[in-house]
Amino acid sequence: MFFIAFFGIQDKDKQIGSYNNIICPSCGRLGRYDIHKAYRYLHIFFVPTFRWNIRYLVKTSCCGTIYELDSDVGRAFEKNPDTEIKAENLHRIYSHTPFKYCSNCKTDVPSEYSFCPYCGGKL
């Protein structure tokens, strides 16, 4: 936060909702998207007056991958939580999971394995 006398600049991250029953584009598991709105704003006497750098971020509940949502879809979701979010509206920003997911035996396997140690299936 930048503050001089009676005005300042601050970053804000606000959760605007969640979108349930999705198939994760990263790991293929059933989960949900948690949608956040992140922006920077100027405040005068602690009253927000001007916003810029508005981004809509999506975090998956299953593997924690973070996507940026298209701005027009994000604004529509903010007004109407029943707005459909498609995979082509998402742009991957960050993906780190310490586990891979075995689709054969439905278990989490450490990421250094190429084959599942429980069932032998290829990861």
pLDDT reading at 58 higher than 90: yes
Parse the chain into domains and list their residue ranges.
2-98
Write out pLDDT tens, residues 30-49: 999 999 999 999 988 878 88
| Reported confidence tier of residue 89, pLDDT bands at 50, 70, 90 | very high
Which tokens is 57 given?
């971020």
Question: CA torsion 48→51→53→55, rounded to 10°?
Answer: 80
The dihedral through the CA atoms of 51, 77, 28, 91 has a sign that is: negative
Write out pLDDT tens, residues 20-32: 999 988 878 899 9
Number of residues written out for the chain = 123
**pLDDT given at position 3:** 52
